[in-house]
């Protein structure tokens, strides 16, 4: 998993509340568990004018010109600005996979669905909760200023605008540690690899029958 320390990126404002995980990545694209290849189908039903199918070449599909990610000014955006209850619905982990594969590194919203929020941290995405007044302000600035970028500093726990305004956000210390060091659940476990190895060796000596059960 990629570490997240500080990121400066173009902002895409998605002015829609209650965006659920089926809208983020529709159910027909959930056949793979490789974590990659989902970017072309992110927000598929909003992004394209036709019905998306698995293994389809999305580069040849008709785009919805009104959808924010299809507008030239938001091309290559890596910070998604969203509204309340982002990521609601089913618990599919493919949703953060699709956002990450597209190129997003952080999502800012007034609130997130709990399971989606947790899944983001496990997959290298930083979900940031800011109050609605601040999010409203960021929407106004992002929509009125072409090329609008935000700087997200996980170490300092701040979001900074081009004009220098800075907003603090809260994040659990353990989750922050994992993102800063690029650790998923397996990576966290491997931090204690030597302790685990030492424990297993001691158990082999004190309870050898436990390790011969399969023979």
The residues pairing with 88 across neighbouring beta strands, listed in sequence order, are: 20
Of residues 114, 83, 86, the one with CA closest to residue 99: 86
CB 83 within 8 A of CB 17: yes
Neighbouring C-beta atoms of residue 132, cutoff 10 Å: 12
Please state, in angstroms and rounded to a whole number, the distance separating the CA atoms of residues 197 and 51. 51
Q: Are 116 and 203 within one domain?
A: no
Total domains in the chain come to: 2
Q: Is residue 46 part of a domain?
A: yes
Q: Is residue 71 part of a domain?
A: yes
Q: Are 145 and 202 within one domain?
A: no
Q: Is 32 helix (H, G, I), strand (E, B) or coil?
A: coil
pLDDT per residue over 128-139, tens digit each?
A: 999 999 999 999
pTM (predicted TM-score)? 0.87
CATH number for the domain spanning 158: value is 3.20.19.10
Position 202 confidence tier, pLDDT thresholds 50, 70, 90? confident
Q: Is residue 13 part of a domain?
A: yes
Q: Is residue 1 part of a domain?
A: no
pLDDT per residue over 79-124, tens digit each?
A: 999 999 999 998 889 999 999 999 999 999 999 999 999 999 999 9
CB 123 within 8 A of CB 116: no
For 190, the domain range is 185-215
Please state, in angstroms and rounded to a whole number, the distance separating the CA atoms of residues 190 and 49. 45
């Amino acid at each position: 998993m990629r570490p997240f320390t500080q990121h400066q990126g173009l902002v895409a404002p998605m002015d829609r509340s209650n965006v659920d995980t089926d809208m983020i990545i529709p159910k027909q694209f959930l056949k793979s568990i490789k974590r990659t290849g989902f970017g072309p189908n992110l927000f598929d039903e909003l992004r394209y004018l036709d019905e998306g199918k698995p293994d389809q070449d999305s580069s040849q599909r008709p785009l919805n010109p009104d959808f924010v990610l299809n507008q030239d000014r938001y091309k290559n955006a890596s910070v998604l600005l969203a509204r309340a209850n982002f990521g609601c619905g089913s618990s599919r982990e493919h949703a953060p996979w699709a956002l990450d594969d597209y190129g997003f590194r952080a999502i800012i919203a007034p609130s997130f669905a709990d399971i989606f929020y947790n899944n983001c941290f496990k997959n290298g995405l930083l979900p940031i909760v800011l109050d609605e007044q601040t999010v409203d302000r960021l929407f106004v600035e992002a929509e009125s200023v072409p090329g609008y970028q935000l700087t997200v500093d996980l170490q300092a726990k701040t979001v900074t605008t081009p004009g220098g305004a800075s907003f603090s956000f809260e994040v659990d210390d353990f989750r922050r540690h994992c993102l800063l060091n690029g650790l998923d659940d397996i990576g966290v476990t491997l931090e204690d690899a030597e302790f685990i190895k030492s424990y297993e060796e001691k158990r082999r000596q004190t309870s050898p029958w436990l390790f011969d059960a399969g023979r």
